[in-house]
Amino acid sequence: MNRVYCVGRNYAAHAIEMGHDPDKEPPFFFQKNPDNLLLEGQDFPYPSKSNDVHHEIELAVALKSGGTNIPVEEASDCIFGYAVSLDMTRRDLQGQMKKLGRPWEIGKAFEHSAPCTAIVPAGEIGHPSEGQIWLKINGEMRQEGNLNQLIWKIPEMISYLSDLFELRAGDVILTGTPSGVGPVQRGDDLHGHVEGVGDLHVKVI
Ligand code: MN
């Protein structure tokens, strides 16, 4: 694993639920730490200093190559595969930082904040551009969207990032979450799904 890039507000309905106008404010990036990834089968420990930890179900993209200034039409060649992931967020701390105009690290880049399935190679499943993405908690549907609602498409994200950073094999990009984000509680069973990619099961402890 190299770097973990995350896209913010990449589904219009989620941007609106967070109080933003997707037509006026385009998506943007932040990072988590590579060791924040929580591998499939492990429990998510409720983190310190927060009483409002939210789930964000996301499609993750893993790169097998990188570079700089990658054209959109060549970006898919950099993709190794895809995974189902969660961008777990201390929403209360993130909200405080937003209000003060400060960085989001304490809200986003904490231990175990990125539960993720094993990567499914694009050689097996192709490059998904549509398909359901959803999250259930204890069997109840909470988030629902479709990959065809992504504002920035995956090749566009890779190209854009490669103008800012040198992308490398082992980089992971979390592509944003559909609407319906909300709090989790200790004891919850989270079940995330991305059509054509797989299922992620995480217990909050
Ligand atoms: Mn997110």
pLDDT of residue 22: 86
Q: How far apart are CA 52 and CA 36, in angstroms?
A: 19
Whether 1 shows a pLDDT value over 90: the answer reads: no
141 CA from centroid of ligand 1 (Å): 18
pLDDT of residue 123: 97
Residue ranges with CB less than 5 Å from ion ligand 1: 56, 87, 177
Whether 202 shows a pLDDT value over 90: the answer reads: yes
User: What would the mean pLDDT of 67-76 be, rounded to a whole number?
Assistant: 98
| 104-136 pLDDT, tens digit each | 999 999 999 999 999 999 999 999 999 999 999
CB-count exposure of residue 31 (10 Å: 0-12, 13-18, 19+): middle
pLDDT of residue 24: 81
4 CA from centroid of ligand 1 (Å): 12
| 128-187 pLDDT, tens digit each | 999 999 999 999 999 999 999 999 999 999 999 999 999 999 999 999 999 999 999 999
In contact, 204 and 190? CB cutoff 8 Å: yes
| 83-101 pLDDT, tens digit each | 999 999 999 999 999 999 9
pLDDT of residue 23: 86
169 CA from centroid of ligand 1 (Å): 22
Q: Which residues pair with 198 in a beta bridge?
A: 194
Q: Quote the number of domains for the chain.
A: 1
Degrees to nearest 5, angle at CA 29 with 17 and 32: 100
- Domain CATH code at residue 111: 3.90.850.10
149 CA from centroid of ligand 1 (Å): 15
122 CA from centroid of ligand 1 (Å): 22
pLDDT of residue 108: 98
64 CA from centroid of ligand 1 (Å): 22
| 44-69 pLDDT, tens digit each | 999 999 999 999 999 999 999 999 99
124 CA from centroid of ligand 1 (Å): 26
26 CA from centroid of ligand 1 (Å): 14
9 CA from centroid of ligand 1 (Å): 7
- Domain containing 150 equals 4-203
71 CA from centroid of ligand 1 (Å): 25
User: β-pairing, 132-137 with 140-146?
Assistant: antiparallel
| 24-47 pLDDT, tens digit each | 888 899 999 999 999 999 999 999
DSSP per position, 92-103: HHHHHHHHHT--
Side-chain half-sphere of 68: how many Cα atoms within 13 Å? 4
